[in-house]
Amino acid sequence: MFPVLPSRLLGGVAAGVFALVVVPPIAQAQDIEPRAYSNAPVGVNFVIAGAVHTRGGLSFDASLPVTDARIETTGVVFAYARVLDIAGKSAKFDVIVPYVRLSGDADYLGRSVARTIHGFGRPAFRVSINLHGAPALSLRDFRNWKQDLIVGASLQVSPKWSQYDGSKLLNIGTNRWSFKPEIGVSKAMGPWTLEGQAAAVFFTDNDDFYGGNTRSQRPLYALQGHAIYGFRSGKWLSLDATWFAGGRSEINDALRNDLQQNWRLGLTLAIPVDRLDSIKLSVSSGVSARIGNDFDAFGLAWQHRWGGGL
């Protein structure tokens, strides 16, 4: 017989990767990720497929020199994750690859530009490790483990491998790399889990921006908070909030007035289907925006897990 897993495993394992699927696949600096540092048995693998739709303002690159953007994106996203043992600490490696259709128009220097395009968005590779409160465990030992306080850290790298045409203003990709170090804290209190995360995103230059110009962007700083309620059935519901600021850009060393200071709110619902499968629904919306945050996002994802003795 296969082992019956505890409801906390069915409801929340690899939720950090799962959450990446249901945020805008080309707006990764604006992620809302509940349960990013949850624990799981070593050796478990996850494959995830999801669909994301965004509509409204600049969800793809808020630092572009355009105004009055009316953009819709629809993305299909695939991800893989594996739970690791790093020096006795539980850790995860994950990779996500989005394919996106973008359609819309915006104003640039007093004239309207429009485009409809589809292609691969930038992939993301991440390694995360739980530094405190979540040791590396086998499936047997994990059955008796209960969360208290978890402190973790991660590094996400997104290469510039994506659709990009330097002769066009609106693109899916941004022709640059980004690096996102992050720390996170998760505290369980009965059926509730409270979480907080702090991150910074650093960008390389795009040296082929719209006609051969060079565009740079300063770091973007982000905070997240989550209040998660876990049901006995294994479902969990999360109220999510994120704030991000910074990210002023330069074109050929000319500093632009595009400082970001934005808030987003969201809800996330995860539902176990059976012992090895889960589905997840997510919605988020910009509630306060200085620039580039006036869009809504809707996501649906399916997760299957195997290995590690399951």
CATH at 268: 2.40.128.130
* Assigned domain for 2 exists: no
Residues 84-111 pLDDT 10s: 999 999 999 999 999 999 888 878 777 8
Global pTM? 0.89
Helix, coil or strand: residue 19: helix
Chain length of the chain: 310
Distance of CA 219 to the CA centre of its chain: 17
C-beta neighbour count of 217 within 10 angstroms: 25
DSSP character at residue 162:
S
Query: Mean pLDDT of all residues in the chain?
Result: 86
62 assigned to some structural domain: yes
CA distance readout (Å), 190 to 134, 194, 203, 230, 231: 17, 11, 40, 9, 11
Top pLDDT among 78 and 59 is at 78
Q: Is 149 exposed, middle or buried (0-12, 13-18, 19+ CB in 10 A)?
A: exposed
So what's the pLDDT on residue 198? 97
* 201 occurs within a structural domain: yes
As given in the structure block, the two tokens for residue 283 are 């919605």
Is residue 226 within 8 Å of 240, Cβ to Cβ? yes
Q: Which residue has the tokens 């230059």?
A: 205
Cα(199)–Cα(155) distance, rounded to whole angstroms?
A: 9
Residue 141 lies in a domain: yes
pLDDT one-digit tens code per residue, 216-254: 999 999 999 999 999 999 999 999 999 999 989 999 999
Using alpha carbons only, give the angle 15, 19, 21 rounded to the nearest 5 degrees.
125
Is position 1 within any domain?
Answer: no
Q: How many helices (H) and strands (E) does the chain have?
A: 3, 17
Return the pLDDT at 296. 87
Q: CA-CA distance, 26 to 295, in Å (whole number)?
A: 13
d(CA 188, CA 228): 9
Residue 61, C-beta contacts closer than 8 angstroms, at least 6 positions apart: 26, 27, 171, 174, 292
- Which residues on neighbouring strands pair with residue 94, listed in sequence order? 81, 126
Output 159 or 27, whichever has higher pLDDT.
159
Looking at the domain assignment, is residue 212 inside a domain?
Answer: yes
Count structural domains, the chain.
1
* Spatial contact of 230 and 11, defined as CB atoms under 8 Å apart: yes
CA–CA separation, 20 vs 77, rounded Å? Answer: 9
End-to-end CA distance of the chain: 10
State the DSSP code for 135.
Answer: B
**Between 69 and 251, the higher pLDDT residue:** 251
CB 200 within 8 A of CB 187: no
Residue 68 lies in a domain: yes
Give the rounded percent of residues in the chain with a pLDDT score beyond 70.
Answer: 85
Q: Domain of 94?
A: 7-306
Q: What is the pLDDT of residue 170?
A: 83
Both tokens assigned to 111: 């004239």
The C-alpha atoms of residue 171 and residue 137 are separated, in whole angstroms, by 43
Structure tokens at 24: 């805008």
pLDDT digits (tens, 9 = 90+) for 11-42: 444 455 555 544 444 455 567 788 999 999 99
- What are the DSSP calls for 199-255, one per residue? EEEEE--EEEETTTEEEEE--EEEEEEEEEEE-TTS-EEEEEEEEEEE--EEETTEE
Query: pLDDT tier at 60 (50, 70, 90 boundaries)?
Result: low
